[in-house]
Structure formats: C-alpha cells, structure tokens
Structure 1
Amino acid sequence: MKKLLFIIMAIFFAGCKTNINYYQGFIYDMNNKPVKNLKVYEKSDKNNYSITNEKGYFKIPAKNNNINRFLYVEQNDLTIIDSIQVFGSQGGEKIKYNFVEGQKDTLYIKFHSQVDNGESHP
C-alpha cells in the first residue's frame, strides 16, 4: 500500500514540471481600465516579479520550468490585493492553465475605493 501511495505521489509531483517559460497577462479594474504599478509575483518566490505597465500587462519568467499554482498581486509593495490561480482541475478533468505563455488572460480587480461612475481609484 505504501508503495502504491509513493508511486501516485511521484506521478503527481512529476506532473507539476512543465515546459512553461513565463507567466503573462493583464490586470484591469472593474471599469475595464488597465491598472499600472502593481507587483505580480510567484507564491514561492517574491523576488521573481513584474510590475504592471500602463496597459496593465505583466510578464514573469517561470523558474526552472516549475509552475506555481498561484501568483500574488500586491499594491504599494505592502498589501496582497488578489491572487491568480495559474492551474487547476475539477472532478478529475484535464488540468487548465491560466496566465501562462501564449495566453492573453485578464484579471479584473475591484478596489475598495473604486466608484462606479466610470472613474477608478486604485
């Protein structure tokens, strides 16, 4: 039984190794405007990060071809304001990847100080 459990765990962890070279995507507010100057980083390595540009775009290299399950989004270098689930599956379905190379995924964030009159105040 222990051997079977070990084999299943080994297969699972081997499956976490990917050929993904980077994470990328856009971050917009709820008024569909890009948000710049947000820090996006891997859960496992806060030093591997990108700052969103004027288009809300970020791009982070994936270290050692290992993919993190989550990216964190930080504002003002202090507060984690959101997270991005990079991969997941439901009910044994095929694993779905988000915010990885070649995909143009977008995260929409509602800021607590944001108003709904067409202006955003991150």
Structure 2
Amino acid sequence: MKTILLLLVILWSSVCCSPPKFKHYAGYIYQAGRPVGEAEIFEQDNPENRTQTNQDGFFTLRKRANGVSQFLMVRKNDTVIDSMQVIRTAGGEQLRYYFTERTKDTLFLNPD
C-alpha cells in the first residue's frame, strides 16, 4: 500500500510540477473591433525579448528556455498601453497559461 501511495505522489508531482510545454507566446490584440498592427509586445521581466503585431493584430514571441514571464507588455507609439497576464492560478492549486501558442487568446483594448 505504501508503495502505491509513493508511486501516486511521484506521478502527481511529475505531472503537476513539470515546466510548461509551450515555446511561444501568441495572440491577437484588438481595439474598437479592429486589429492593432505594429504594437510592440515584450516580456515584462525581459524587455529585450520583443516582437510586433502584424496587420491582423497577431503576434508570436519566443519564450525564454529557462522561464515564463507572468506578464507581456503592449507598447504603441513609445507608450505602454496595456499588459497581458500569462500565468494565473485557479484556487491557488492549478496554474493556467494564457497567450500561448496553444490558446492564441485575444486582448481587447478600450477604445481611445
């Protein structure tokens, strides 16, 4: 019985605590129902890692191999206009990732 319990704990910790398996952040940015092109997207804790949205408001940004940023920042015309939360917890027990290559979430900015 102890062996089964130990194996279950090891299996749970390897599944629960494994690093995220995505390689890119990705998503869309819209404002007033229109895609936002040429907005700069960068990691809050690593601003050198950045990209721009295309004419469809879509961006893809390679994730650092050694970590995940909690926030991606959005800059337009040299001003940070919003941020996207990448890591969220559900009940303090479950991590969820947004704006990844698997989800391609959308950020809707308030109209000017």
For the criterion TM > 0.5, the same-fold answer is yes
User: AA paired with 2:70?
Assistant: R
Separation of aligned partners in 1, 2:84 and 2:37: 17
Q: Which runs of 4+ in 1 moved over 6 A?
A: none
**How many pairs does the alignment contain?**
97
**1:1-122 equivalences in 2 (<5 Å):** 15=17, 17-29=19-31, 31-76=32-77, 78-112=78-112
- Give the TM-score taking structure 2 as reference length: 0.78
Q: Percent identity?
A: 34
Q: Which residue of 1 aligns with 2:6?
A: none
Alpha-carbon contact 1:21-1:65 (below 8 Å) kept: no
| Structure 1 unaligned residues grouped into runs of 5+ | 1-10, 113-122
User: How large is the RMSD of aligned CA atoms in angstroms?
Assistant: 1.9
- Give the TM-score taking structure 1 as reference length: 0.72
Residue 91 of structure 1 and its aligned partner are, at CA, apart by 2.5
Alpha-carbon contact 1:18-1:65 (below 8 Å) kept: no
| Structure 2 unaligned residues grouped into runs of 5+ | 1-12
Richer in strand (by share): 2
Alpha-carbon contact 1:17-1:67 (below 8 Å) kept: no
Q: 1:17 to 1:106 in 2, by over 3 A?
A: same
